Amino acid sequence: MDLPESSVPHADKVGQARPAPRRLGSRGLVDREELLRVIAQSLYSLGYRKAAAALEVESGVPLYPAEHDRLLLDVMAGRWDACVETIGSVAGVSNADRAVAEFLVWRGHYLELLGMGDAGLRRAREVLRRRIAPLRIDRRCVHWLARAMVSCEGMVAPEAVVQSRIALFLHLVEVFPPWFHLPSGRLEHLVESAVTKQVESCIYHNLPDEISLFEDHKCHEEQIPSKCAQILYGHNNEVWFVRFSNNGNYLASSSSDCTAIIWKVEKDDMLTKKHCLKGHQNPISFVAWSPNDKMLLTCGNGESLKLWNVDTSECNLKFGGSGDYTITTCAWFPNSEKIVCAGYDLGAGSSNRIFTCDLEGKELEVWAGVRIPKLSDLAVTPDGKHLICVSSNEIWIRELPKGREWRIHEKQTISSLSLSDDGQSLIVNLNSEEIHLWKVHRSSSVPEKFKGHMQGKFVIRSCFGGSNSLFIASGSEDSQVYIWKRHLETPIKVLHGHTMIVNCVSWNPTRPQMLASASDDHTVRIWLACKTKHTNS
């Protein structure tokens, strides 16, 4: 239906044959004149003045209405009465707005007169009395202007007249409705909103591609990790925990065979075993990378913490705080020099303790006593400002070093916690087979929920992932890995492959196409996205 227009203008013939349609677009939502004006404005701002002028002539739709150009000339020349006349002649402006516009004009004139010194003082008084006061604008403005006669505040010096008139004009057009003087960059704004909308509704949007204007943006399902690319056999027993390092170059896995293994991620997205950390007497339930990725903390079940050097695989330190404490969970502070641990006393009295200590094992701060609950998980936000603790039904957030604290209550028991990379959101796995997402700075009392996986008896961990942390992944007791898009309650992808419970998942922070999962079947599986921008599959 739309034939490419030839460059020979035969607009007259076409104009006589049939009038141009008033409304454009498949749904008739776009007004032809508005579209032409927006295009002309865009051409002017791109610098194609001749093309823009030609468009105005050929289409017969000028960018600005006649009153607009008249007003501009009048303001720049200082023909104030003519300005007011023009303001009066613009259709579709409410009386209140007209009064405001007139006020601006007269105020500009008044301030210029003040700038002329004593010579203009008498005329300024006339303007104030005859023109401004009758407009019945806010009295305070009038009083301020009267004061300015004496204080000379805001007066416009003769040299600055041109600038002030330009500023006055820009101020003036803001009072009028948008069809009078288009907001700048209107076409670009409209295009960007459409593209943003498409990206938001794209559920598989994982790789930060350049968005093309030539087609609607829609990512393919294969852009999130979907195929099992590698199975890592390294452990002799159930693998309970897996975590990528902060720079995405290493993976740490820990197992109930009392060892932890560090794997290196090679350039072709394959993993090779680097070190095997032996030394614990008990199964290792938890592993934490230092923020600079040089050190690794391993937490044995009912045992002390061990600090390992990643490069040399030596155990630098073993500590469990003072006294006979079992450490259940720990987290690093962003400066890689301080850690916070939670534990409980094995002996009678079973008191709970949260303490921070440095890398020598020396305790720095201790919170103990009746108010401290037994924690199942702990995290520190990446800016080091908040400490987040999870006890059976509550998420407890406190500002560090000392400040506000607030709690989020859950009806069901919480088994694990995970924080997003920007430290703004957290997810908790509940025993009722739901994952709840809360904002750290509690802006709503209802969490986002994600369902579909199975969890009843065991600690199942989940994580944020993908570019911009737009996805959530979790293990499950039915041996599958579940992936959700944020804001959607049902999973968008379920990965099969493991033969037993998937305990823990970790999404590579720097390679959004890679996901690792740890399972009771002694293996760690690496899942990759099939179609990536850089590799040709």
Partner 1 sequence: MGLLFLERLEGEGVFRCRQCRVDAASKDSIISRDFYGRTGRAYLFDRVVNICLGPKEDRYLITGLHTVNDIYCSCCQQILGWRYEKAYDESQKYKEGKFILERGRMVRDG
> Do residues 401 and 414 touch, judged by C-beta distance below 8 A?
no
Measured CA to CA, the distance from residue 41 to residue 60 in angstroms comes to: 15
Selected from 198, 392, 412, 467, the binder of partner 1 by CB under 8 A is 392
> Do residues 45 and 67 touch, judged by C-beta distance below 8 A?
no
Measured CA to CA, the distance from residue 394 to residue 15 in angstroms comes to: 72
Q: Please state, as a whole number, how many other Cβ atoms lie within 10 Å of the Cβ of residue 270.
A: 13
CB of 452 to partner 1, least distance (A): 19
Q: Is 415 in the site for partner 1 (CB under 8 A)?
A: yes
CB closer to partner 1, 103 vs 241: 241
Q: What are phi and psi of 104, to 5 degrees?
A: -60, -40
- Contact window for partner 1 (CB under 8 A) among 35-43, 291-299, 373-381, 484-492: 373-381
CB of 212 to partner 1, least distance (A): 45
By C-alpha distance, which of 75, 47, 51, 83 is closest to 163? Answer: 75
Selected from 248, 279, 320, 373, the binder of partner 1 by CB under 8 A is 373
Tokens of 262: 């560090």
- Contact window for partner 1 (CB under 8 A) among 138-146, 159-167, 330-338, 453-461: 453-461
Give the residues across from 472 on adjacent strands.
Answer: 464, 484
DSSP H/E element including 418: strand 414-419
- Contact window for partner 1 (CB under 8 A) among 34-42, 79-87, 164-172, 452-460: 452-460
Q: What are phi and psi of 241, to 5 degrees?
A: -145, 145
Measured CA to CA, the distance from residue 536 to residue 152 in angstroms comes to: 71
> Do residues 263 and 274 touch, judged by C-beta distance below 8 A?
yes
Reply yes or no: is the peptide bond before residue 291 cis, omega within 30 of 0: no
Q: Is 440 in the site for partner 1 (CB under 8 A)?
A: no
Q: Please state, as a whole number, how many other Cβ atoms lie within 10 Å of the Cβ of residue 185.
A: 12
Selected from 238, 257, 434, 448, the binder of partner 1 by CB under 8 A is 238
Q: What are phi and psi of 165, to 5 degrees?
A: -70, -35
CB closer to partner 1, 50 vs 411: 411
Q: Is 327 in the site for partner 1 (CB under 8 A)?
A: no
Binding mask 170-209 for partner 1 (x = CB under 8 A): ----------------------------------------
Q: How many residues of this chain bind partner 1 (CB under 8 A)?
A: 22
Selected from 431, 439, 454, 468, the binder of partner 1 by CB under 8 A is 431
CB of 374 to partner 1, least distance (A): 5
Q: Please state, as a whole number, how many other Cβ atoms lie within 10 Å of the Cβ of residue 363.
A: 14
CB of 521 to partner 1, least distance (A): 11
Selected from 173, 252, 520, 529, the binder of partner 1 by CB under 8 A is 520
CB closer to partner 1, 236 vs 424: 236
- Contact window for partner 1 (CB under 8 A) among 131-139, 161-169, 310-318, 457-465: 457-465
CB closer to partner 1, 457 vs 534: 457
Give the residues across from 274 on adjacent strands.
Answer: none
440 Cβ contact list (under 8 Å, min separation 6): 381, 386, 388, 397, 423, 424, 425, 426
3-class DSSP state for residue 129?
Answer: helix
CB of 480 to partner 1, least distance (A): 14
Q: What are phi and psi of 263, to 5 degrees?
A: -110, 150
Selected from 223, 253, 285, 506, the binder of partner 1 by CB under 8 A is 285
Q: Tally the residues of the chain.
A: 537
CB of 458 to partner 1, least distance (A): 4
> Do residues 500 and 455 touch, judged by C-beta distance below 8 A?
no
CB of 342 to partner 1, least distance (A): 12
CB of 460 to partner 1, least distance (A): 8
Within 459-518, the residues that bind partner 1 by CB under 8 A are: 459-460, 501, 503
Q: Is 240 in the site for partner 1 (CB under 8 A)?
A: yes
Cα atoms found within 13 Å of the Cα of residue 465, Cβ hemisphere only: 28
136 Cβ contact list (under 8 Å, min separation 6): 99
CB of 456 to partner 1, least distance (A): 7
CB closer to partner 1, 19 vs 456: 456
CB of 503 to partner 1, least distance (A): 4
- Contact window for partner 1 (CB under 8 A) among 121-129, 151-159, 458-466, 525-533: 458-466
Tokens of 483: 């992936």
Binding site for partner 1 (CB under 8 A): 238, 240, 256, 283, 285, 301, 344, 373-374, 376, 392, 413, 415, 431, 456-460, 501, 503, 520
